[in-house]
Structures are given as structure tokens and as C-alpha cells.
Structure 1
Amino acid sequence: MKKLIRPSLFVLACLVWAGCSSTKSLKPGQYLYTGAEVDINPDSSARIDNQKQVKQDLEAKTRPQPNKSILGIKYKLAIYNLAGEPKKPKGFRNWLRRKGEPPVLVNDVKLKYNNDVLTSYLISQGYLQAQVTGDTVLNVKAKKGKAVYTANTGNRYKINKITFPPDSGVLTNIINQHKNESLLKVGNFYDLDVYKNERIRIDNDLKEAGYFYFSPEYLILQVDSTIGKNLVNIRVKVKDIAPDAGLKPYTIKNINIYPNYTLRRDSVLRRLKPLQYHDFNIYDNRNTFKPRLFDRLVFFQKGEYYNRKDHNQSLNRMVNIGAFQDVRAEFLPIDSFKNNQLDLNIYLTPLKKNSLSFSVTGTSKSNNFVGSEVKVTQTTRNLFRGAEQLDVSVSGGFETQVKGTSQGKNSLSLTAEGKLTFPRFIVPFYKPNSTNAFIPKTIASLSYQFINRGSEYNLSSFKGEFGYNFKENQYKEHTFNPISVNFVKPGFPSDSVEQRLYATNPLLRTTLERQFIIGSNYNFTYTNQMEDSRRNNMYFYGGLETGGNVWGMFIPKDENGQKSIFNVPLTQFIRVEADFRDYYKINRNLIWANRLNLGYGYAYGNSTSLPFVRQFFAGGSNDIRAFPARTLGPGTYKVPDDAIFADQGGDVKLMLNTELRFKLVSILYGAVFADAGNIWLRKEDLGNPDEPGSARPGSEFKLKNAFKEMAVGTGAGVRVDATIFVIRLDVAFPIRKPYLPSGQRWVIDDIDFGNKDWRKQNLIYNIGIGYPF
């Protein structure tokens, strides 16, 4: 503790100095602006609806904003003052001053401007008689001042009656057909934002009916607030000055597609004789793409009315197909608006046929392994002239354990993968037709990985999959692989090495056995995280995998009565997993994130438990962070401290995470968290009688004991969130250890940060890329 006193006093002194120095550089007559306060109806005991939020909104709209601060310390102003007045045009002092922030003064406050802004906002919320007046309050001794605004809102007005335009033509008929979908409701409060959105809604309805040149600005919502009783009548009307082009529907005449367009080739392409394909005129003398590709990308047809849905879906598909670096759709009127026809010109600039990418990554795991990987990927686009994409990658990496009982152990890996993506469904004897804005994909992949653990063992893994990926909408995504094949084969330098490994680590036998998995899998994902305006965002992932079920019906049994391929017993199982996450925004800089992760596997036939590569694991930087990766469980079992191979898998998983995330400064965020959970085997591992130490007592899952056998950890972390990437450092420690005897599992009383041995045994540091969930 003594070692912490001096640094703590130094930090405290810096904070005190920063607070005191905020007014040090002010000239006589200058006062530091500390912010705005808004008093709502101070002379009335009645409160308006949601008064606290309205007060916060009003204060946020005042200008200027005071100097930025953390915990009341105006750190940027302190930096500015620390730099002082530069004596040279360049140098460190200039740089430091630019990183700071000059003092915001009371004289900078424009009271009349703020009065008008706040009054206008209250009127837009339905307080049509609102008035706001402001004044400044000075603290001469402290050389500080603030602005105080008094808002007298009056009563909030409600909608009494809504009138739409009389049905006098096609346009007004469309408006009246959809008036039941109006955002304006009798009895609702007057709200200017709702009125703006109502104009946009009507414009969308008209765009779907061909009114290409219509605009929300051509609508006016006339409000009559003179009827009394704090009520308003609203009349929706098309402006008399709306241009003729906006008041008539347009049809599509010609659809011209330029699949290999560049500005340099513009004049050459326009002189070409087009290829006539269905309703399309294709201008491309290089035949870059097969014409039938555009049946899936362009939803417009000749002679039909323009509609926004087809417009957006066509653009989305052309962008999401991943074959073009530039997409542009141009609608041109025929004969300068005098008739009602449009030509559609589509300009597409393809991406390069071939590209090569190179990446180097570094890894640091909570099981004390560090390493690096180099990966080279060759991408070939438009392989068969149908916007297909072939990705072939080769990667090599190494890991070494820097501390622990296996310090100095090295692992080398080599991976080769090929993936071919077709931007359509490929289904035998059936041609499914997808008409939404997202491109369905058929994906075939094949990979091989070789892992070498030095003088101990090696693993060869072959994997092949064929399946489909498609988005139902922006929220829902499906992945279905009707066939997935995985073959894992271990190897040893010699029989003696194999026997020695199994003798010292009996658990390795289940990990390093030959495995053949042939089955199917389906994954479903739902998320609305892209909607930042939501206060509460959710994410859900559900997965179902089967092994040896449908495909196992075609595999005969061997002389031992087991279904096998290449003398390897076929693995038979069903595995389900669900991951639900919730992100609640307490305010703009404070998010409460929670996760529930459940998994269950049922093995049968040839198998007594899930294959190791399909088991669930607990512990690690994205899991239960107070325990090293994959070392927790199963159940109350504890892996021996001297184990060479510590990975522990299970058939059942239950995990709960909660995390409070908050902004510190700029792109630096902090978090405090708690994790709980464990894994179990469906049946207790009794081990092999001939191999002492191979059993795992306490590993069986029993629902009545599940919560009693949960591990719990807590900790804190910092994150650098630059939007395009997130770097995370968490430190955690256990507060409940399930492998201790019953009644002794809570270890909160043992926490001792000042004890070196406790820190060494309990503190777990996790470095990661991205958020843990």
C-alpha cells in the first residue's frame, strides 16, 4: 500500500491543480462559462409530461457548450492553460495548445439566440404558447458564470381533427387510400417531428405509385390552433405551387445497362449496338457478365410504373453482390417532362478481376499462449461471368506458451482453404426465386489444417461444406449447410511417444482420437443493432447441428456393428446452441450489456459424448473471463495444475454475462463486468480403469445442482473503440470456484489485491479484438 501512496497523491495534486487553474489565465472582466440551467414553469406546482427529459433536451440545445470535463475536471482547458501563450509559431507548446481547448466565456453566450431556439423547440413539441427567457448569473469571486433560462410552457396542445385532401384525382385518391396508415392520430399531442414524418410517409406511398418527381416539400400541413380548449385541427394539403412534373406518375420506357462502365469509355459504350435481353439493353462489347445475371439484379420492367421499392431493391442487390466498385442508377425524363416516361440508365463499374491480400495478426490468449499468423488470400471475381467469387487462402502461424507448467511448448499451424461463392441459390431440380433486397448465396468450401505440437503430436483436419446463406431482411439471416464433412486424424512421432502422452495425460485420448463427422447444420441470426435510435438493442443466435443422422443412413455397419468410414467410427450426435444478447442504453455514454448462452449436445449410436471439436468450453477472453481459456469444468472437476493439455470440453453449457460500458474520453471506454457459468458432461466421465487419473468426478450435469456448480468472476477493463476496430484489455478474478468443496466455493473473503501470491493465482488478463459480446 505504501507504494501506492505517492502516485495517488501525485494524481490528486494534478486534479486539484487542473481544477484551480481553469480560471487562472482569464483577463479582468472575463468569466468562465460553466453551462446552462433550465427552469420549467418555476411559478407553477404542476409538472409537464417527461419534465426531466425535456429539461435535458433544452439544456443540450443551448450554445455554446461549456469546456469538456471528466469528473468535473476541465482537462482540455487545463492542457490549454498548461501550454501557455506560444512564443514560436511551431514546436511542442503549439502542439500542446492545439490539443487543449480555449476557455468558453460567459460573453460568448447569445441569450436571444438561445431563447428563440428553446422556444421553437417547445412549440415543435406542442407547447404552442411557450416562452423562454434567459439571463446570466455570475460568481465574481470564482470568476465563473452560467446561463439560467426560464421556460413557461403553457398547456400542451392535442389533435382534434385531421382532414385529408378531397378525392379529386389519381394523386389525391392514393393519399386517401392510405390515410388509415397516417401517423397523425386524434388525441395525440401536437408534434412537429410527427408531421414531418407524415409528409415522408405520403411521399413514399406516391413514389410506390410512379410519382417519381413528387417531394414531401409539395405537401403542407395547415394547423388551426384557434378552436380553443388547447386543441388543433390539421389539414393535409398539396401545395398550389407544386410543379406539374411532381403531380403525375411516370412509367419506365427503356432500361439501359452498362456492365463495364468507366468514364473514359463513356462515349464508346454509348455508340455500341446493345444486346437485347428481355427488357434490357446491354451495352458491353466485352461480354463481362452473362445477361441472365441482371434478371436477379434489376427489378424494373419496361412499361411499368416507377416505384421506390424496385428502385431500392435493385440498388441494394447491385451493391451487395460484391462484384462492382461503383453503382449508379439514372432516371431521365423523355422529352423534358412533357410526357410521363423515364429512361433508366444503370452504370456499373466492376471490381478488379483478381486481387491479392496479405495480413499479419498477433494473438495473446488467456491460457498464456502468444503467437502470430501470416495469411495470403487470392480472390478471383466473376469466375464464370455470373458474379461468382473464388477465395483461396494459405496461412501459417505459431504459438508458444510463455508461462505455466508447459512453458516453452510451441505449436505450429498451416492452413489452406478454398471457398467458392455463387450469388444465387443452386438447388438440384428446383429454381427458387428470391425477390428481396439481399442476394442469396450458395457457398462451397474445402479446407485443410495441420497443427504440429513439436515432439508430442500433430493433428490433420479436413473439412468440406456445401450450403446456403440468405438474409430474409435486414434483421434476419439464415445459414443452412445440408452437408458438412469433417475428418480429424492425429499423428505421433512414435508409438512410445503416444503411450507416454496417454500415460501422463489420460484425457488426451478423447481429444486426439480419430473423428469422422458428416452431417448438416443450420444457423439463424436476428439483430437490430444497426438501429442506433433504439434505446434497447437485441441480438439472437440459434444453431442446430446433426452428425451421422440423415447421411448416416447411407453408411453400412462394419464387423463390429458400428457405422464407419475408412475404419473410423461415424460420430452421431445432435447439438443445439442459443445466444441471446441485450444492449440497453441508459444514456448516450452508458450501456448495460447482458448475454445468456445455452448449449446442449446429445450423442448416441457410435458415440457416448460429443466429439471434442464440437464440445462446449468455458473460460477465456470472450467467455468467463476470470478463468483461463477452456480450463473451467466440467462440473466440479478441476484440471490438474501440471496438465500438459488443459482444454476441457462438455456436452452442456450455461453462461451468463453482464457488463456496464461507459465512455471515459474520446475513443477510450471503460467497463465493469461479472460472468457466471460452467460446462458439464451429459454422463459422468468414469475414465478407463487401466489409466489412473482418466476419470473426471463431478462432471455430470444434473439440473438440480447446476446453479450450485456455477463459476462466478468479476473484473474491469478498458477499450479503445475507433469504430472500425476495438482493442480490449480486461482484468478479472474469480469470486466463486465450483471445484472447491461445497460450502467453500465463494471466495470473496479471500480477495487480497495487496498479496502477490493471490494476484498471481487469481488475476487473469485478457487482451482481445472486439467486444466480448
Structure 2
Amino acid sequence: MAVVLNACSTTRYLPPNEKLYTGGTVKVDDKNIPKSDAKALESELKTYIRPKPNSSLLGMRIKLWLYYKTRNRHGFIQKFLSKYGEPPVLVSQVDLAKNSTIMQNRLQNISYFQATVSGDTIGKKKTAKALFTALPGPSYTINNVTFPAATDNSLDTAVKGTMAQTLLKKGEKYNLDVIKNERIRIDTRLKEEGFFYFAPEQLVVRVDSTIEDHKVNMIVRIKPETPERAREIYSVRNIYVYPNYSLRDTSLRLDQAKPYRNYNIIDPRNTVRPYLFSNTVLLHPNDVYSRTTHNNSLNRFINLGPYRYVKNRFEDVTPDSPKLDVYYFLTPYKRKSLQAEIIGRTSSANYTGTQINLSWKNRNAFKGGELLTVTLFGSTDVQVGGQNSGYNVYQYGVQTSLSWPRLISPFALRADNGYIPRTILTLGYTSVVRQKLYSLNSFTGSFGYQFKTSEHKIHELNVLEATFVKPRNISQLYLDSIRNPNNRNPALKHVIDPQFTLGPSYAYTFDNTTEDYRTNSLYFRGKLSLSNNLYGIISGADTLGGKVKTLFGTVFNQYVKAESEIRFFHKLSANSKIATRLIAGVGLPYGNSTILPYNQQFFIGGPNSLRGFRPRTLGPGTVDPTSANGNAFIADQSGDIKLEANIEYRQKLFSIVYGALFADAGNIWNAKPHQPGGTFGPNFLSQMAVDAGFGLRFDATILVLRTDLGFPLVRPYTPAGGQRSISPSFKNSILNIAIGYPF
């Protein structure tokens, strides 16, 4: 009824003798074409039909309805809604002949040289659609491809040398797009060999379609009118870098150039040290010009850090032999800056919080491109109406980092890709205050490297990571909760245990999910962390054997920890996809430790995890976090091992609104016995928590607001008087409100 009423309300206002255009279809009428090919042609040709009909949702033309209801209205609401209205698309606006010509040209461009297309309209009382009939005829395939012969002419020889990788394959269908891409491919290859002034338009591909059996011969040639300098191989003469360039600079000031290695610096104010660009300028004097090397240099200048803009110029300098002078004009940012941030956040655990960050940056701290950042922060998280109401969390502290745009290493490591490797030193202090419970001091530090080996691959190696956490104030309420024999919860004590980790870590990330054209895309991150392994072995640390060792007077943690996360995305259509994620992590404490330090343990549940359960309220194993009702609060549940799997179907509904159906499963466990039912064992699959639900995403590109309603289906534990399996009902549901996608 809604569809019928909507259709009536959007056609009743049509002008006399006009019909609403409802779209077009294409029929390929050729029995000699396989059905699969015919369907593919129909789908492609349909995309060329113009104009597009009025948009609809479930058969209802909401935007057209808004147009009629808000036109000529002057109220505030009507004016606001009119922005989303859409005027009617009439069948009289459809140019059948023009559409037919466009589709016919497209068929000819993809091998159907004898194609014809005709169009007509099929109408009802108030609506009409267009029907186009295509007669493609036979498709023409490639019989032979000929390239220029290798001669004394260097350009002919270079083009001939690209033949092995040609896109024009014998037996494949003629395709104009492939021919255009072939010219670009050849030009790209020539740019690597010094043909600086060559262009794809200076290549021509002649096609002979007069041979039998609907085949064509192709001849790749260089146009005779190609200018002489496009036929020359250019090399580099001099390289000049201007580190403090502005638009007011009009003189090149070459007399002030100071040579350093393979380039010259023009920097009268001495704003940088000359070695800053030694890992950035990848071209060298007398090198044959290479576009890849040139682009990699530009990328490195941009990623260097201190520079807002990078302008590049090549100058043909020698009439006798083909030589280029290279100029890099760099416009710096303001060297020092101060930034303030106010952040608001909320979670499904009923915590709302605010954080204030005050950051000071020096983008060229020691004139070597170093980035020095000092951040002061303070935050508060308050729970309203939950079981932990009144046990608010306050944090304050300072974080400092110093980043060098190069690898500071005793080993000579050099790469010529477009990415700047970095050496990073961090130091930080955080004070965590859990109101009425405890306070913790946390000191952190790290020294390591971050570098990209390709567009998709990132490596992070921390030679040394250190964390020291020590309790400052512990309330009597918290101590009584730990000592309560009726509701003993080891997690409570573990939160306030002193922690001292010291060791290296390595992380590898592969990510091609930003490339929207892919049908399948993948994200993977793996990390390996170590703590006091060698020292623990040398010192003979063995907690279970009574040999507890210290380092700098403090009991240290000893463990090996591995983490991995895989996300796989499959695009079903332009507006829908399947998203999946698998997380596996394991930490093995040994020697001086029987459990991972609290800040290295795994947690599960919440808006970015299992959405049918509140954050950090699951596990370990079959432990029931709600059983300790003698406590006025519930401690976060943590474990040494984690398994989690998620699957989500995402569909665009309209405008910026997307819908999702999801299911999650997972749990955490201890590696060694600490709590009954909390240790990882062979029956771990039967201890998985499961939920499902649905949600909406409001994707405004720069910000994604997400609402997910999760229904718990299976608990890992059996609560008193309850069951592990739960009927999905709104009574048990959890509403998650978050920023961004869960994965």
C-alpha cells in the first residue's frame, strides 16, 4: 500500500501529456553471442543511459515526493527539506537517438565493429521506460601485433624493447581502452630510460580490419611529427635544493649554492643541516632520468616532515647534449606550533568521558628534520547509572616523542623507494586514578624504527620497550575486596600488581583496503613482543621454584607474546560488502612470571569487539564476572590468550545511511591456572561467547557515527539460575554508540 500510495502521490503533479521516466533497459539480440557475454554487455551498456531516473528506496521515490511537498513553501522546515528534494525526470527528456549512438560507439570500441543500437519507449498511464535493442554482430580479435624494428634510432629500439610486456595479445578481442593503456604503458617504460619529453600521444596504433575471419592486425608506430627532443635520452647535470623557499623568491641565486654530496643547497639563513636531504634526493649527476626515481624523491620530500609544499622543476640546459638541471623548492611549515584538543567519548558500559590534550611541536628541532612533540593531557571517565557508578576514572600525564627522518643505526641501511624511514624515541608518564579504589603511576619509554617497504607494507621494530607501573594509593575498600574469602577474584589483585617489562618488539602490517576498486581487500597485522627473556634465563629466574629475580631492585615480568589480526573485505556490489575479522593472540609467561602483566593482557567485549556484551566483561574461560556480587564494582576481565571472529554484511540504504547485520564470537583465557574454569584447554571452542545484531552507520566521510544493537546468544559461563544460551530479546540487548567502523 505504501508503494502504491507513494507512486500515486508523485505522478499526480506531472504536467499534461507528460510521463515519469522510470529507467531504461538494454536487450542484446544476437543468438551468436554466449548468454554470459550478452548479460555482461547489457549490464555495461545500461550504465551509459542518460538521464538517470528519480532515485527510490523500496519502490518509493522519497526525494521526488519531498520536491513536490516543499516547492513554493516558505516555512523553515520546508526550506530545509527542499534541499533533499529531486525534480521529476520526464520521459520527454530521454534522447533515444543520442543514447543509441553512444552505446553503438561503445560496442564498436570493444570489438563489435558492425554493431547497431535502436531505442524505443514503453509507456503506462503515468510512467514510461526506455528499451534499447543492440545487435552487436561478430567481434573482431587480434591476429598479429607489429612493433618498430630495432634500428640505430634509440627511440625505435626502446619501443621495440617494451614488446614482451605488451597488453595487445594475439587472440584477444579488440578494445580501444586496451590500446590507450598500451600507449601509457610504453610511455611509462620509456620514462624509466631517459625519454623525458616523450608523451603517449606520440604513439599511434594502426588497425587493419580487412583481413578474413573478423580479425585485425595492429601496427605500433612512432608518429613522424614527433619532435627531436622527445627522441633523446636525457641525463641529470646538477641538482639544487631550496629548503626555505617562498613565492617572493624570484632569483635562483646559484652563486650561493653550497655543494653537499650529489646535490647543492641554497640556504642563506642556514635553516637546515645539509645532510637532511642525503636520504631524500635519489637522483644523481650523470644518472639517466628515471620517472620512478624522480617520483620517489618527491614523495620523500613531502614525507620528510618540515615542509608544507614541494615544487619541482626541470630545465633543459645543454643544447649540445641532452642534459637536465633539477630544482626542488621547499616551503616549510611554521617551525613551532601549539595545539589544543578537547575530546568527548562514550561507551556502552555507560562511561562518558572528556580528554584535553595540549601539544607543542617543533618540526625541525635540531635542523635535521626532527619532530619533537610534547603533549600534556588530562581526562575523566564517569559512569552514570551503571554498576560501577561512582568509581570514576581520572588520568593525567605527559607524552614526549622525538622522530628522526632516517635510520639511526650502526648498520648501513639504504632504500630507494618513496618512503622515509624513521627512528622514534618516546618517553611518557601517566597517573591513573580510579576513584575510591586505587591510583597507579605508569612510566613508558621506547626506541625503535618505522619504515615502509611498499605502499601496503609497514614494519615497526622497537629495539627496546620499557614499561614500569607501580600502585600509589590503594583504598581499604579495594583491599577488602581482594581479601574477601567468599568472593575471591584474582583479577582485582592483578590490576594493582607492580609491572616491569623490558624488551624488543616487532610488528608487520599489510593493508590494501584503501583501494576501493578492489573486489577483495585485506588487512593484516602481526606483532611479537618479548620481555626480559635473555636476562631471565641468565639470572635463573623461576617463580614456581621460589627463585624470584629483580632488575634495578624491581621484580620484572618475563614472557613471549604474539598477536595477529586479519580483516578480509569482499565487495558484493558498489553499495554492499561482506567484512570479516579474525583475531588471535597468545602470551606465554614463564620464568619470573606466571601471568602476563595487566597492561599486556587481552580483553574482549564492547562496541569494537563482541557487541552483545559490555566492554571487558567476558572471561577468562567460563568465569562468571557477575558472581562476585559482594563487591560494589566489577573488575575488568583479562586473559593471556584471545580468540575472536566477526562477520558483518554492510549495505548502503540511502544518502549517507548504511545498514549492517553482524555476528561475533570469541573469548579470553589464562595460559596457566589462576581461576577455576579460566585456563585455556582442549574444550575452548565450547567456551566461546556468541552474539548477533544489526546497526546503522551514518558515513559523512570525515566522520562515521555508528549505532549497533547486539543480542547475546551464548554466554561462556552459566550464571546462577540462568542458562548459557540466551533468547535474543530487547531485554538482553546492548546498544553500542561509537565513532568509526568496528573494523
**If the TM-score is normalised by the length of the shorter chain, which range does it land in?**
over 0.9
| Correspondence for 1:386 among 359, 365, 368 | 368
Matched, 1:130 2:115: yes
Match of residue 647 from structure 1: 636
Match of residue 377 from structure 2: 395
Question: What's the CA shift string for 1:216-252, capped at 9, x where partnerless?
Answer: 1111111222212122211111112222221212222
AA matched with 1:67: N
SS of structure 2 residue aligned to 1:712? strand
Cα distance in 2 for residues equivalent to 1:721 and 1:551: 50
Match of residue 686 from structure 2: 708
| Correspondence for 1:332 among 281, 298, 315 | 315
SS of structure 2 residue aligned to 1:226? coil
Structure 1 pair 213–270 and aligned structure 2 pair: CA distance change class (3 A): same
Q: Is the 8 A contact 1:333 1:343 kept in 2?
A: yes
Q: Is the 8 A contact 1:556 1:564 kept in 2?
A: no
| Correspondence for 1:731 among 709, 722, 727 | 709
SS of structure 1 residue aligned to 2:399? strand
Cα distance in 1 for residues equivalent to 2:298 and 2:337: 24
Q: Is the 8 A contact 2:438 2:475 kept in 1?
A: no
Matched, 1:460 2:441: yes
Match of residue 515 from structure 1: 499
Matched, 1:436 2:414: no
| Correspondence for 2:650 among 661, 664, 683 | 661
Structure 1 pair 216–338 and aligned structure 2 pair: CA distance change class (3 A): farther
Cα distance in 2 for residues equivalent to 1:192 and 1:426: 51
What is the CA-CA distance between 1:496 and the residue it aligns to?
Answer: 7.4
SS of structure 2 residue aligned to 1:173? helix
Structure 1 pair 355–699 and aligned structure 2 pair: CA distance change class (3 A): same
Structure 1 pair 131–414 and aligned structure 2 pair: CA distance change class (3 A): same
Matched, 1:316 2:277: no
| Correspondence for 1:294 among 277, 297, 302 | 277
Question: What's the CA shift string for 1:612-664, capped at 9, x where partnerless?
Answer: 11111111111111111111111111112535233111121111100011112
| Correspondence for 1:198 among 179, 182, 186 | 182
SS of structure 1 residue aligned to 2:385? coil
Match of residue 151 from structure 1: 134
Structure 1 pair 434–19 and aligned structure 2 pair: CA distance change class (3 A): same
| Correspondence for 1:564 among 520, 544, 550 | 550
| Correspondence for 1:751 among 728, 733, 736 | 728
Cα distance in 2 for residues equivalent to 1:303 and 1:567: 60
Match of residue 428 from structure 2: 447
Matched, 1:769 2:722: no
Q: Which of 644-653 and 65-74 deviates more? A: 644-653
Matched, 1:163 2:141: no
SS of structure 2 residue aligned to 1:121? helix
- The number of residues matched between the two structures is 734
What is the CA-CA distance between 1:323 and the residue it aligns to?
Answer: 1.5
Q: Which of 518-527 and 190-199 deviates more? A: 190-199
Structure 1 pair 513–578 and aligned structure 2 pair: CA distance change class (3 A): same
| Correspondence for 1:33 among 21, 30, 35 | 21
| Correspondence for 2:699 among 695, 699, 721 | 721
Structure 1 pair 446–291 and aligned structure 2 pair: CA distance change class (3 A): same
Question: What's the CA shift string for 1:69-120, capped at 9, x where partnerless?
Answer: 111211111110111335x7x9654554343111011111111221121112
Q: Is the 8 A contact 2:390 2:435 kept in 1?
A: no
Question: What's the CA shift string for 1:155-202, capped at 9, x where partnerless?
Answer: 222221111111122112112223111122112222222221111111
Cα distance in 2 for residues equivalent to 1:735 and 1:550: 45
SS of structure 1 residue aligned to 2:284? coil
Please give the root-mean-square deviation of Cα atoms over the aligned residues, in Å: 2.3
Cα distance in 2 for residues equivalent to 1:489 and 1:98: 58
Match of residue 698 from structure 1: 677
Structure 1 pair 550–351 and aligned structure 2 pair: CA distance change class (3 A): farther
Q: Is the 8 A contact 2:689 2:715 kept in 1?
A: yes
1:275-294 map, 5 Å? 275-294=258-277
Question: What's the CA shift string for 1:726-756, capped at 9, x where partnerless?
Answer: 22111101111121289x96635x2344xxx
Question: What's the CA shift string for 1:454-503, capped at 9, x where partnerless?
Answer: 22211111110000000010011000101100011112256676345543
SS of structure 2 residue aligned to 1:296? coil
Question: What's the CA shift string for 1:656-692, capped at 9, x where partnerless?
Answer: 100011112222211110001111112232xxxxxxx
SS of structure 1 residue aligned to 2:595? coil
Q: Which of 167-176 and 601-610 deviates more? A: 167-176
Cα distance in 1 for residues equivalent to 2:665 and 2:83: 46
1:214-229 map, 5 Å? 214-229=198-213
Structure 1 pair 323–550 and aligned structure 2 pair: CA distance change class (3 A): farther
Cα distance in 1 for residues equivalent to 2:672 and 2:172: 60
Match of residue 3 from structure 1: none
Q: Which of 296-305 and 436-445 deviates more? A: 296-305
Q: Which of 489-498 and 459-468 deviates more? A: 489-498
What is the CA-CA distance between 1:581 and the residue it aligns to?
Answer: 0.7
AA matched with 2:493: R
Q: Is the 8 A contact 2:541 2:592 kept in 1?
A: no
Match of residue 623 from structure 1: 609
Cα distance in 1 for residues equivalent to 2:496 and 2:16: 79
| Correspondence for 1:253 among 196, 221, 237 | 237
Structure 1 pair 224–607 and aligned structure 2 pair: CA distance change class (3 A): same
Q: Is the 8 A contact 1:518 1:551 kept in 2?
A: no
Q: Which of 513-522 and 491-500 deviates more? A: 491-500
Q: Is the 8 A contact 1:456 1:501 kept in 2?
A: no
Q: Is the 8 A contact 1:558 1:564 kept in 2?
A: no
Matched, 1:184 2:168: yes
Structure 1 pair 291–359 and aligned structure 2 pair: CA distance change class (3 A): same
SS of structure 2 residue aligned to 1:115? helix
AA matched with 1:253: R
Cα distance in 1 for residues equivalent to 2:537 and 2:247: 58
Question: What's the CA shift string for 1:366-401, capped at 9, x where partnerless?
Answer: 222111111111111111111110111011010111
Matched, 1:581 2:567: yes
AA matched with 2:677: G
Cα distance in 1 for residues equivalent to 2:274 and 2:648: 52
SS of structure 1 residue aligned to 2:250? helix
What is the CA-CA distance between 1:725 and the residue it aligns to?
Answer: 2.4
Question: What's the CA shift string for 1:588-635, capped at 9, x where partnerless?
Answer: 000100111111111100111211111111111111111111111111
Flag structure 1 segments of 5+ consecutive residues without an equivalent: 1-11, 686-695, 754-758
